[in-house]
Structures are given as C-alpha cells and as structure tokens.
Amino acid sequence: MENPVKIVRYSHAIKFPSGNVTNVQAMFGTIEEVRERAEKIAKEYGAEVKAII
C-alpha cells in the first residue's frame, strides 16, 4: 500500500497565504494527485518541483 503522505521540495522558498515561507510541503494523496497540485503551486509562485518523496 502506498503511503498517502508525500513531501514536496520546490526549487526555492515560497511564501504561502498562511504566512509560512518554505521550500518543502507535506501533501496527502497519490503520487499523481500530489504531483499535479505541486506543479500548479510551483507555476503560481515561479518555482519548480525538485522532488516528491
């Protein structure tokens, strides 16, 4: 069974609406769902997805 928790690393720090500034983010879902959401976030903030673990 696939672990539903994934760690996403971006190419640079992103300031999220919550005020958190980081280049890593935890997400829940399948690898495909997480990749899709991470790519959308990266594009919005001018970053790249470097790794999903």
Please give the Cα distance from 41 to 9 (Å, whole number): 11
- pLDDT for the residue 3: 86
Two structure tokens written together for 38: 């991470």
SS3 2: coil
pLDDT digits (tens, 9 = 90+) for 1-53: 778 999 999 999 999 999 999 999 999 999 999 999 999 999 999 999 999 99
